[in-house]
């Protein structure tokens, strides 16, 4: 598991270095919590949770994210902002300090 997370950390670092070359000055973080999204779109919270659910949760010290297994139980995808800031790509969660947790349906 540590080897896979290290590979993920390297991939995220590479992506961050590419993204950091783009200007993000003046951008706000457009992400919403599930509750905010449900309220904004007048949806039940359970519907929003089902709509955006992943296969596993990435549990990190500074926040959790979802991920999906693809092709096998050893490969998963997630978004870079699970580990890096959407605005300036600074590290918000060290992948080596995160773990995967099964998400119940």
Q: Is residue 84 part of a domain?
A: yes
Q: Is residue 99 part of a domain?
A: yes
Q: Is residue 42 part of a domain?
A: no
What is the pLDDT at residue 74?
Answer: 78
3-state secondary structure string across the chain:
CHHHHHHHHHHHHHHHHHHCCCCCCCCCCCCCCHHHHHHHCCCCHHHHHHHCCCCEEEECCCCCEEEEECCCCCCEECCHHHCECCCCCCECCCHHHCEEEECCC
Quote the percentage of the chain above a pLDDT of 90.
15
Q: Is residue 26 part of a domain?
A: no
What is the pLDDT at residue 85?
Answer: 87
Number of folded domains in the chain?
1
Does 23 score more than 60 pLDDT?
A: no
Give the confidence band of 42 by pLDDT, cuts at 50, 70, 90: very high
Q: Is residue 96 part of a domain?
A: yes
Give the confidence band of 61 by pLDDT, cuts at 50, 70, 90: very high
Q: Is residue 41 part of a domain?
A: no
pTM of the model: 0.49
Does 11 score more than 70 pLDDT?
A: no
Q: Is residue 69 part of a domain?
A: yes
Range of the domain at 98: 1-21+54-105
Q: List pLDDT tens digits, range 72-99.
A: 777 888 888 889 988 888 999 998 999 9
Q: Is residue 64 part of a domain?
A: yes
């Amino acid at each position: 598991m540590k080897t896979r997370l290290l590979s993920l950390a390297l991939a995220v670092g590479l992506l961050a270095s590419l993204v950091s070359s783009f200007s993000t000055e003046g951008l706000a973080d457009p992400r919403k919590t599930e509750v905010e999204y449900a309220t904004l779109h007048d949806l039940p919270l359970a519907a929003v949770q089902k709509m955006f659910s992943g296969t596993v949760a990435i549990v990190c010290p500074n926040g959790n994210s979802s991920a999906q297994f693809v092709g096998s139980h050893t490969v998963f995808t997630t978004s870079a902002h699970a580990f890096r800031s959407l605005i300036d790509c600074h590290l918000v969660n060290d992948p080596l300090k995160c773990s995967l947790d099964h998400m119940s349906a």
